[in-house]
Structure 1
Amino acid sequence: MWKLLSTFPFEIGTLTARNQPSASSSSSSCGDLSEHYTTLRRFLSPIFPPLPPLGTFILLLCFLGFFFLGSIIDFALTLNEYSPHSLASLKTQTAESLAQDPRYLSSLNIDWDEISRIIEKLNNLDEYPGIGLLNFDEKEIGQWKQLFPETEQLILHLERAPGNLTWEMLYPEWIDEEEESVIPSCPSLPQLQVPHKPRIDLIAVKLPSGRSSRDVARLHLQLEAARLAASSKIQHQIHVLLVTDHFPIPNLFSCKELVAREGNAWLYKPDPFRLLEKVWLPIGSCELALPIEPEGPFYSEGSGREAYATILHSAQAYVCGAIVAAQSIRATGSNRDLVALVDETISDDDRVGLEAAGWKIYTIQRIRNPRAQEGSYNEWNYSKFRLWQLTDYDKIVFIDADLLVLRNIDFLFGMLEISARGNNATLFNSGVMVIEPCNCTFDLLMDHIDEIVSYNGGDQGYLNEMFTWWHRMPRRMNFLKHFWEGDSEESKRRKTDLFGADPPALYVIHYLGHKPWLCFRDYDCNWNVGFYREFASDAAHKTWWKVHDSMPGNLQRYCLLRTRQKAALEWDRRQAEMANFEDGHWRMEINDDRLRTCVENFCSWESMLLHWGEQNWADN
């Protein structure tokens, strides 16, 4: 527990001092404690054992308050060292640092009419006597004074991030999650210093110019604005105004909390307790946002508004995978809703099977990827954005249909948007991810569909451009069936052991390459395709079929092989034989009953092979 507390972005003494209520507000602060105790329990439940009853919790707080009394006094003494001369020096320091660090500069010319109009949207403007200004130059500060002469402007001083700090340091491709060699830790970013604890009702921040979301300075400024807004709940709620030529971090400042927008000015009224949850998280994927082995079952009072979701569009081939995925979730004891988004290409019979497996069917209209070629695999994969329209739910854990859930992962509902495992470079894998549905987030995704380029041409690349501030879940919660080219023999052996462990050690296996239900059950057919051999694992293949075999026969029939797929498997086997692949899987006799079971009018897969691969060949 103490190790975790030491990683929180607030020092305990600082946080306590900032939130210390006055005598006149003591009764209301007790109400706040009761009101938000449930939120605290929900936030900590994936990390700590269940919290004690409220009375015991209050006693514990009293004990901790006494323990840290010395820290609070030291902090108060530190605040008293500031003087009016210090405030003047802060202005000088801010101007100097702006001139010295181009990362924080903005070439945006502020439209002050936009600022005036957006500030007018605040109710009871006279009750906003204090405005904190962050990252504005001296001329712009003068403009604020002219616009609002009766309002006190406080120049917020923020030391700049170290010059050698890169996005790749905040979002490394790999961290030692098991802490076998080193304990992962994130770089530190300087925090705002606010002398004398003045009343601030509005935090205005000018963000650096540029279209890149992977910008350390932009992240730094937004995190510190959020931290300051989160720290003042006991006194009053703070509005945040972001002046930027690029949309703010959508999962830090939620569009649900957007009060108004005028051009480049975005005004938010964020929930400070929600912000507190967010700024408690690691600043990047440089540390896990969740323990590798969460303790105890996860309980949420909002479990009725939480669901697992998958999506099936443009192809029947994943229906079997979705049915087995549902079976695997239920086998772990989860009773969350299962939601499947399907388009018109999914047949009525397939929908019957999905519903029998437990999925609630939502019919959607597909969304075309404007950069995809007609008929390509990724032509309609932007349909995944429809997940944000599932507003009957507060939290969605999305799972691809080619996943197998081996252990209960309900604790993921306690994580925030976007939580996912790392993929490569600074990116996350969207096969398992936590999202928070909201129509305005869907609108944001659609608004930029023609301008943002996906690194891989698909939805995963697009979402990585929209949600660059994401939170790392342990890879065991989305373990990719993939043997990297650089894997040692020991690493391959350990992965193989994990894929076949009983009881399971992994939470989720993500089946890359050819899918188990499109292979014969005898072995992983990825062995027979040269560029797919890195995805081959007989142990993982066997694990999938074990779950399949636990299903009733009326569901297993959705996993029968079509005639064309049988021919394709034999073709690949012959190519492997010609290449004389040393693993020798191509020599194995096929005993899978599905080879001799026909579900179509045309059953002669052997005759298909006579013209397989010819330029004008068709499967009719």
Structure 2
Amino acid sequence: MAADQAFVTLATNDSYARGAMVLGKSLRNHNTTKKLVVLIGPQVSEPCKGVLQRIYDEVRMVDVLDSGDTAHLAMMKRPDLGVTFTKLHCWTLTHFSKCVFMDADTLVLSNIDELFERKELSAAPDPGWPDCFNSGVFVFCPSMETYGKLLQYCTEHGSFDGGDQGILNGFFGDWATADISKHLPFVYNLSSIAIYTYLPAFKQYGGNAKVVHFLGKTKPWNYTFDPKAKRISGSMTEATSHPTFLMDWWTLYSSAVVPLMYEQYGDQPFHSGCVEGESPLQAQALPPLMSSQERKERWEQGQADYLGMDSFDNIQRKLDSFLK
């Protein structure tokens, strides 16, 4: 095991902790040789912390508000960037020479240890604005000097999007133009939303996806899952994930994470999200008919009915009928 290299993620609460559990399991299942580190916020409960300790090599509590360091001072000036400062803590992991940061709403589909051959700051383009990188997956080198400079940058410039992506794109501002080797292929951070904006490309390359990123408001853990019937339920009006990837997430969560949670929670009640006999996907019921104008507006607002009339298969059939 490469003792001085690690995959790093962040969980600020129990919901994101579940994401981190699945991410950690997916990295282990694909035989990573790297260490696994999770940074957790004070809101993460003891049972969830216990599960994370069984999956990760290192579980580190980070709380910017408590520290008397530079982060605390920066925080006083920019309270709006709370979670962002927490994420920047990954640069303080100086017992590692190189790390790959991954958001807790990502899922690994194959071994990605080759990312450690990349330099800081390597990342994939953001689907919304490809001259920016998406900060859900990036290669970095821990350094107290870089950490200090990042905090200073935060304080002086803030973030153009209110989060860490704005900060990091501002700080590593030459990413778009300086060195193409720092541009990770999109398959290392495949946004589940972007699939639908360019379907032919997904058809062509989607099978090579190595990491899927569940961007958007609705996260995998916001649904419920019937493990027996292999069915996902929840409000599909906001579904932004390809059903196959969502099923991959739930299959891994229900088989490998939920048993650990039951052990940690013991007699304490908790909601695993796995429910037998739930009603199937609402989209499988007959959807109310929508005018093409309403449907167009929904698409433009990013609210396509991905599991119903706008499902991948339906769109494919439509494309095939046009192409014929």
TM-score (norm 1): 0.38
Measured against aligned partners, the alpha-carbon deviations of 1:448-468 in whole angstroms (never above 9, x if no partner) come to 222213221101110100012
CA 1:398–1:435 in structure 2 vs 1: closer, same or farther (change >3 Å)?
same
Q: Which has the larger radius of gyration?
A: 1
Alignment match, 1:306: 5
Q: Distance in 2 between matches of 1:438 and 1:428?
A: 21
1:520 aligns with 2:231: no
- Residues 187, 209 of structure 2: 8 Å contact kept: yes
Please provide the CA RMSD for this pair: 3.6
* Structure number with higher relative contact order (C-alpha < 8 Å, ≥ 6 residues apart): 2
Q: Is the 8 A contact 2:242 2:306 kept in 1?
A: no
Distance 2:201 2:122 in 1: 26
2:320 aligns with: none
Give the structure 2 partner of residue 274 of structure 1.
none
168, 185, 192: which one aligns with 1:481: 192
Which residue is equivalent to 1:472?
183
When residues 586 and 414 of structure 1 are mapped into structure 2, their CA distance, relative to the original with a 3 A threshold, is closer
Query: Structure 1 residue 494: deviation in Å?
Result: 4.9
Give the Cα separation in 2 of the matches to 1:539 and 1:308. Answer: 25
Aligned pairs, number: 265
| Distance in 2 separating the partners of 1:484 and 1:303 | 34
Deviations 1:12-39 (A, max 9, x none): xxxxxxxxxxxxxxxxxxxxxxxxxxxx
Structure 1 CA distance, aligned partners of 2:124 and 2:306?
34
Aligned to 1:510: 213
* Structure 2 residue 139 is matched with structure 1 residue 434: yes
1:6 aligns to what?
Answer: none
Residue 457, structure 1, aligned to residue 162, structure 2: yes
Which of 36, 41, 44 is residue 346 of structure 1 equivalent to?
Answer: 44
Aligned residue for 1:404?
Answer: 107
Question: Could you tell me how far 1:331 is from its partner in structure 2?
Answer: 0.7
Q: Which runs of 5+ in 1 are unaligned?
A: 1-301, 588-620
Contact preservation (8 Å) 2:123, 2:139: yes
Per the TM alignment, residue 406 of structure 1 is displaced from its structure 2 partner at its CA by 1.3
Partner of 1:450, secondary structure, is helix
Matches within 5 A, 1:343-422: 343-366=41-64, 368=75, 370-371=77-78, 373=80, 379-422=82-125
Residue in 1 that maps onto 2:18: 320
Cα gap change, 1:494/1:365 in structure 2, threshold over 3 Å: closer, same or farther?
same
Per-residue deviation, residues 544-563 of structure 1 (Å, max 9, x unmatched): 12322441643254899749
- Label 1:435 to 1:483 Cα distance change in 2 as closer, same or farther (>3 A): closer
> Which residue identity is paired with 1:527?
M
For 1:573 and 1:561, locate their aligned partners in 2 and report how far apart those are by CA, in whole Å: 25
The separation in 1 between residues aligned to 2:110 and 2:57, in whole angstroms, is 19
Q: Which residue of 2 aligns with 1:158?
A: none
**CA gap 1:584/1:442 in 2 versus in 1, 3 angstroms:** closer
Q: Distance in 2 between matches of 1:540 and 1:444?
A: 37
**Contact 1:396 1:436 survives alignment (8 Å):** yes
| Residues 512-551 of structure 1: pairs in structure 2 closer than 5 A | 512-513=215-216, 514-521=218-225, 522-523=231-232, 525=234, 527-529=236-238, 533=239, 535-551=240-256
SS, match of residue 523 in structure 1: strand
Are the structure 2 counterparts of residues 448 and 536 from structure 1 closer, same or farther at C-alpha, using a change threshold of 3 Å?
Answer: closer
Tell me how far apart the structure 1 counterparts of residues 61 and 90 of structure 2 sit (CA, whole Å). 12
Evaluate the alpha carbon distance shift between residue 584 and residue 536 of structure 1 in structure 2; reply closer, same or farther with a 3 A threshold: closer
Q: Which has the higher strand share?
A: 2
In structure 2, the CA distance between the partners of 1:305 and 1:584, relative to structure 1 (3 Å rule), is closer
2:104 alignment partner, SS class: coil
Q: C-alpha separation between the residues in 1 aligned to 2:167 and 2:306?
A: 40
Amino acid at match of 2:167: Y
**Secondary structure of 2:33 counterpart:** coil
TM-superposition CA deviations, 1:197-244 (whole Å, max 9, x none): xxxxxxxxxxxxxxxxxxxxxxxxxxxxxxxxxxxxxxxxxxxxxxxx
Corresponding position of 2:28: 330
Distance 1:305 1:537, change over 3 A: same
- The answer to whether the 8 A contact 1:316-1:346 is kept is yes
**How far off is 1:303 after superposition?**
2.1
Report the identity percentage: 27
Change (3 A) 1:543 1:370: farther
- 1-side partners of 2:34 and 2:258: how far apart? 24
**1:403 Cα deviation (Å)?**
0.9
The amino acid of 2:138's aligned partner reads M
Structure 1's 526 and 417: CA in aligned 2 closer, same or farther, altered over 3 A? Answer: farther
In 2, Cα distance between equivalents of 1:390 and 1:317: 24
- Mapped to 2, the partners of 1:397 and 1:477 lie a distance apart of 11
Letter in 2 for 1:523: I
Q: 1:584 & 1:479 partners in 2: Cα distance?
A: 17
Q: C-alpha separation between the residues in 1 aligned to 2:20 and 2:197?
A: 32
Partners in 2 of 1:477 and 1:516 — Cα distance? 19
State how far apart, in whole Å, the 2-side matches of 1:536 and 1:524 are.
13
**What is the alpha-carbon distance in structure 2 between the residues aligned to residue 526 and residue 584 of structure 1?**
11
Deviation at 1:519, TM superposition (A): 0.6
Tell me if the contact between 2:192 and 2:212 (Cα under 8 Å) persists in the aligned partners.
yes
Q: SS of 2:170's equivalent? A: helix
Distance 1:411 1:439, change over 3 A: same
5+ long unaligned stretches in structure 2: 65-70, 176-181, 226-230, 296-304, 310-324
Q: TM-score, normalised by structure 2?
A: 0.70
